[in-house]
Each structure stands twice: as C-alpha cells, then as structure tokens.
Copies of this chain bind each other. A is one copy, B any other.
Amino acid sequence: MLSASKIKLIRSLSLKKFRKQYGLFIAEGDKTVKELPASDLEITEILALPQWIENNTIPATIPITPISPKELQRISALSTPNQAVAMVKIPDHDFKKVEPAKNLVLILDNIQDPGNLGTIIRTADWFGIMDVICSPETADIYNPKVIQATMGSFARVKVYYNDPRSVLQRLPQGTPVLGATLQGKSIHKTNLPSRGILITGNESKGISKELYPFITDEIFIPGKSGNKGADSLNAAVATGIILSAIIANRG
C-alpha cells in the first residue's frame, strides 16, 4: 500500500516548485515507463499495477511498488491513468556539449503552451535533433502535460533552460541561425543548412525583438498564394515543416 506521504510527494510533482525542490518529475503510461530503463534518465521508483509488473522486465536496480487501480488514480496526472507511473530524476545535461557548429540545435523562444512544447520535442526527436534550448519563459518540460505530449521523446531529446541571447552571442563565427519571419526566403528556394540554430518563436508574438539581430537566414513557409488564408501556423507545425525541409535539402 502507498503511504499518504508518498502519495502527497508524487502529487506535488505536478507543480514546478516541488519538482525543483525534490529534483524529480513524473512520467507515466505503459509505453513510456516501459521504454524508460533503456534511456539515460535515472528512475528512482516505478509504481505500477501488479499485472503490468508481471508483464514487464524491469532492471533489478529500479525499485518497483505494486499499486491498486485506486492508488494509480490518486497519483496519476492523467484523466485516464495507464498502468504505470515512474518517478524520474531531473537530468542535469552538460550544456557545454551542445555543438551548433556541428549539429542543428533548436532554440524555443517563449513557447507557452505545454501541448505545443511537448509536440515540438516529439517532432525534434523524429528529425534527429538532439538538443533543444528553451528560454527561461518557455513552459517547463517536466510539467506532466508536456511530458505526456512528447510521447516518450523527453527521454531522448536533451532540453536545456538558458537565455537564448547568451547562447547566440557565443556561437562560433559563421554558424547559421534560422528564423521564420514574414519577410524571409521560401524554405523551398533556400539552401537550408543542416547545422546551426533554428529559432522557434512564441505562439502569438513570434521571435522576440532581442533575438532578431542574431538571425542570419530569415526563412518563410509558403502557403496559399494571395493573402486570404490563416495569419500564421501553429509553432509545432511550423517547426516540423522547417525541419522536414532541412531533411529534404540534405537529399
């Protein structure tokens, strides 16, 4: 049986304040928890239905606690809990290993919506982006809603919170910095680099003024000809389209 204090601890992790205090976050769902032991993340405990424990082989070093469906309901952040919950240490990725001179790195400039952030991490993972730098105002990747929306990609993509300006100021000379703007060149008519930085701007305000001077390649996603369509694209959709065009460019 779960102690009241354990339940309280787990539930508290839906708030950033307590995630920071304990250095932990929650990842849940059959598939996500099943895949976690193969990742670099450190699992401090798995809590799961007895049936799930029976059907899955989890390394002996990870403590497992069987729980009842009722207990699962109490600790889960999902409206429909799914068999297992893992408590995971918030990783401390080494920022010095990010190499925009060699790989494509994503900068998220104030992405507010947890679903958008999660979908962007998932999309980055699909396209093999390993590093995502979030501005401090960006939603927290360890928010249960974000973790859920990444569909497991939080375990592969490294996410850093840093001031984008300090990152951009220190870039090696000649590193391309892509940013989507309304005056940019068509992504289909530009030689898109497969290394450097891609900046994704805020959902309603776009890329912030302070970051504009760092953009070396303004790009644009052509839509309908004429101007009677939507004003803009969703931030995750736009990021996916640009990453796909970069892959297409690579041939």
Contacts and interface: CB of A to CB of B under 8 A. Distances in A.
A69 interface: no
B224 A119 contact: no
Majority-rule SS of A interface residues? loop
How many copies are assembled? Answer: 2
Interface string A108-141: 0000000100010011011110000000000000
Contacts of A233: 122-123, 126, 240
Interface of A: 115, 119, 122-123, 125-128, 151-153, 156, 187-188, 221-225, 228-234, 236-241, 244-245, 247-248, 251
Given A123-B233, A221-B244, 15 more contacts: A119-B234, A119-B236, A125-B229, A126-B223, A127-B223, A128-B223, A128-B225, A151-B230, A153-B230, A187-B244, A233-B240, A234-B236, A234-B240, A238-B240, A244-B244
B247 A188 contact: yes
A202 to B, nearest CB: 14
A156 B122 CA distance: 30
Given A153-B230, A240-B233, A248-B188, A224 B115 contact: no
Nearest to A236: B237
22 contacts: A119-B234, A122-B233, A123-B230, A126-B223, A126-B224, A126-B230, A126-B232, A127-B224, A128-B223, A128-B224, A128-B229, A151-B232, A187-B244, A222-B247, A236-B236, A236-B237, A237-B239, A237-B240, A238-B240, A240-B240, A244-B245, A245-B248
